[in-house]
Amino acid sequence: MKKICLILTMIILLGATAVQAHTLYFTLMDNEDGTVDLSGMYSTGEAPVNTPVRLINTADNSVIWQGKTDENGECTFNRPSVPYEVELDAGPGHVAREDGI
């Protein structure tokens, strides 16, 4: 019984570590030409390929633009004239959302 409890505890702890090790991040860069570059990355160093990107109007939560990252986890979009948030959505547990610039 002790052996089974030890094995289950190890599985739970290792599973929690694996989940923690795959966090989604992104950075935004103003190109000063009316466009913004998004560069996404998982904490493992992998690029979020073909991952949906949404720009959300903060006044009413409407989607004002949507696209996807390329094979490098990057995309460029026109900078909205209204306050907005950027959402990179790689599925449950892998959503990053930040204020736009």
Average pLDDT over residues 38-51: 96
Distance CA 27, CA 33 (A): 18
Q: Is residue 63 over pLDDT 50?
A: yes
pLDDT for 14 equals 54
Q: Which domains does the chain have, with CATH numbers?
A: 24-99 (2.60.40.3080)
Share of the chain above pLDDT 70, in %: 79
Query: Residue 24: exposed, middle, or buried by beta-carbon count in 10 A (0-12, 13-18, 19+)?
Result: buried
* Start-to-end Cα distance in the chain: 56
CB 57 within 8 A of CB 82: yes
> Beta partners for 96?
88
